[in-house]
Amino acid sequence: MDVILLIKAAIMGIVEGLTEFLPISSTGHLILTGSLLGLTDAKSKVFDIAIQSGAILAVFIVYWARLREALMGIGHSEKQRRFVANVFIGFLPAALVGLTVYKMIKAHLFNAPVVAGAFIVGALIILWAEKRSQPVPRVQSVDDMSPLDALKVGLVQCLGMIPGTSRSGATIIGGMLLGLSRKAATDFSFFLAIPTLVAAGGYSMWKERHALSMADAPMFIVGFVVSFLAAWACVRWLLRYVSSHTFVPFAWYRIAFGIVVLITWATGTVIWAD
């Protein structure tokens, strides 16, 4: 057993778990960390996708009571049927875009200038969204959302496919701009992550299954477990954070990270390509 490889897997798990649900783009952080750790081969790309499952499991655990309520009540509760339908509606745009144009996005947009630009532009949008006069949110909770609200947030989620944008950042900030409260936008972003990441991860794992073997199991298990623990802590913290704080600190962090992307690209430290 390669202990050094397991340590690297744990580090990647921490990075995935901490960045997947914050508005700072997990993809950019995984590329940088993987490059610095020497995890850049085809197997490592599959590993990056696989450990998302740990982060998704954390959402299941944190929101288990709400998810169980929806599943148990879908047969007799209009409220629960609307909730499940809204999550499905919000998921559809990303599914359609992923199946039709994601290959083109990866081929043409996965480069350092785009990643850095997405980080910085995303930061400016966050700063503008937080600085503007805040109207009273039209939607106070996820249960108050209409199908049209869910569709709009789902369309905004597609922006997260641009590397460096951040899926969670697009859905949370986009949801707020569309009239959702900070809490409702954050909750719906987490719920949307479940089908979106499961579908994306399952599809990618199936396509790259030839690159895996049983010998890789320890590395994947460590990454999965650490990603779960880090994401669990992060989600619980973020839910407390949004109740009394803005996302401005994340915006300044994005600007700093965008500069890091450009520096590592210009010096050749990191190969910013998929």
Contacts of 190 (CB under 8 A, 6+ apart): 21, 59, 62, 63, 235
> What distance in Å separates the CA atoms of residue 103 and residue 106, rounded to the nearest whole number?
5
Length of the chain: 274
Q: Residue 253: which pLDDT band, with cuts at 50, 70 and 90?
A: very high
Least reliable range by pLDDT among 57-66, 80-89, 100-109: 100-109
Sign of CA dihedral 234, 48, 150, 91: negative
pTM, 2 dp: 0.90
> Which residue is it, tokens 């987490």?
190
Mean pLDDT of the region 32-50: 85
Q: What phi and psi, each to the nearest 5 degrees, are found at residue 211?
A: -85, 0
Least reliable range by pLDDT among 91-100, 150-159, 203-212, 257-266: 203-212
Longest dimension (CA), the chain: 60
Residue 232 near residue 226 (C-beta atoms within 8 A): no
pLDDT value at position 273?
Answer: 67
Residue 274 has pLDDT above 60, yes or no: no
Tokens describing residue 207: 């396509």
Residue 1 has pLDDT above 70, yes or no: no
Contacts of 207 (CB under 8 A, 6+ apart): none
pLDDT value at position 201?
Answer: 79
Q: Over pLDDT 70: what percentage of the chain? A: 99
> What distance in Å separates the CA atoms of residue 148 and residue 155, rounded to the nearest whole number?
11
Mean pLDDT of the region 125-134: 90
Tokens describing residue 107: 């081929």
Mean pLDDT of the region 233-238: 94
Tokens describing residue 221: 């298990």
> Alpha helix locations (H) across the chain?
3-19, 26-37, 42-50, 52-62, 64-73, 78-100, 102-109, 112-131, 147-157, 167-177, 182-207, 217-241, 248-267
Question: To the nearest whole number, what is the mean pLDDT of the chain?
Answer: 90
Tokens describing residue 37: 């750790």
Q: Over pLDDT 90: what percentage of the chain? A: 64
Mean pLDDT of the region 209-231: 87
Buried b (16+ CB within 10 A) or exposed e, 243-268: eeebbeebbebbbebbebbbebbeee
Q: Which of 54, 22, 18, 53 is nearest to 33 (CA)?
A: 18
Q: Residue 268: which pLDDT band, with cuts at 50, 70 and 90?
A: confident
Residue 176 near residue 185 (C-beta atoms within 8 A): yes
Q: Which of 25, 23, 56, 44 is nearest to 199 (CA)?
A: 56
Mean pLDDT of the region 4-8: 94
